[in-house]
Amino acid sequence: MKLKDKIAIVTGAGGGIGRAAALLFAREGASIAVVDVKDETARETASLIKEAGGRVTALVADVSSSDDVKRMIEATVATLGVPTVLFNNAGLSPSFPKPALVNITEESFDRIIAVNLRGVWLGMKHAIPHMIKAGGGSIVNTASIAALVACNSAEYAASKAGVLALTRVAAQEYGPFNIRVNAICPGATATPMARRFAAANPAGSAASDPKRLERMGVLGRFAVPDEMAKAALFLASDDASYATGATFVIDGGWTIMALEGGAHYTPEP
């Protein structure tokens, strides 16, 4: 088991990549703090882990709130023990249909940044002191291919690019404490976010064209959440013991063929 006797926190674990990772980490021997902004979905994921014989607690937190994140860490310590694995996965989806930069509202910009970027920072801010006392740990942050190429709304892209910057700085600062920090950049993945994207675009539009969506990578298909979860597991485990400060792109080749993938999609004015 790759995470035997580890204690892991997975945020955004109510569905999609987060749920897949929480289930996988549990199968690999970790005790899991399942965190989501929705109590119902957090409990659903926790129930699946418990039914499989795993040790788990379900927690509700808005990762953009420092008080919530601090309580999340403290509750994990109290119920499971000191976490040495943190998967900062919670995030908000971009606006659908994609707005032009000048049409993004300040409220939308601030909320995306608060959850996707500040949430990652807060997770590390409150977890790292415990990891230092425990002698080390591994942090995996979810960014996006939107951090690398212009393929999404500006506020979302900015938030995910910021995640990569935070990852590098955290890795540099806390490597001497045996804490590794890495980021994954998922490509098109069959998650509730992807379904919302398709539903928000009218039939016949470029964004809803099945053939166009199939070209979102050289493999000609969407990823499934398990494929992202396996990458996060690798980074969280000792298999990646010499990896830190790195960006792991898991996009089926999307970013090497950005023109085909639609990086130059023009939003409604």
Domain residue spans of the chain: 7-191+223-251
Please list the alpha-helical segments (H only) found in the chain: 16-27, 39-51, 66-79, 106-113, 119-134, 154-174, 192-200, 210-214, 225-236, 258-261
- pLDDT number for residue 219: 81
C-alpha distances out from residue 70 to 47, 143, 159, 258, Å: 24, 22, 21, 39
- pLDDT number for residue 173: 98
Half-sphere exposure of 230 (CA within 13 A, CB side): 6
- pLDDT number for residue 201: 54
Is pLDDT at 213 greater than 60 in this prediction? no
Measured from the Cβ of residue 266, the count of other Cβ atoms closer than 10 Å reads 9
* Catalytic site residue from 156, 174, 242, 265: 156
Measured from the Cβ of residue 121, the count of other Cβ atoms closer than 10 Å reads 20
- pLDDT number for residue 197: 57
- Mean pLDDT, residues 125-143 taken together: 98
Q: Is 156 a catalytic residue?
A: yes
- pLDDT number for residue 97: 76
pLDDT-based confidence at 222, cuts 50/70/90?
Answer: confident
Is 161 in contact with 185 (CB distance < 8 Å)?
Answer: no
- Tell me which of 133 and 150 has the higher pLDDT: 133
Edge-to-edge, what's the strand order for the sheet holding 7-11? 56-60, 31-36, 7-11, 85-88, 137-142, 179-186, 247-250
98: left (phi over 0), alpha (psi -120 to 50) or beta: beta
Taking the alpha carbons at both ends of the chain, their separation in whole angstroms is 52
- Residues 36-62: pLDDT tens digits? 999 999 999 999 999 999 999 999 999
- pLDDT number for residue 91: 96
Half-sphere exposure of 209 (CA within 13 A, CB side): 12
- Mean pLDDT, residues 215-238 taken together: 89
Task: Give me the chain's average pLDDT, please.
Answer: 89
- pLDDT number for residue 267: 53
218: left (phi over 0), alpha (psi -120 to 50) or beta: alpha
CATH topology of domain 7-191+223-251: Rossmann fold (3.40.50)
Question: Distance between CA atoms of 115 and 94, rounded to whole angstroms?
Answer: 12
SS3 243: coil
- Mean pLDDT, residues 109-124 taken together: 98
- pLDDT number for residue 218: 80
pLDDT-based confidence at 188, cuts 50/70/90?
Answer: confident
Is pLDDT at 163 greater than 50 in this prediction? yes
Question: Distance between CA atoms of 245 and 131, rounded to whole angstroms?
Answer: 17
> What pTM does this model have?
0.90
- pLDDT number for residue 99: 86
DSSP 9: E
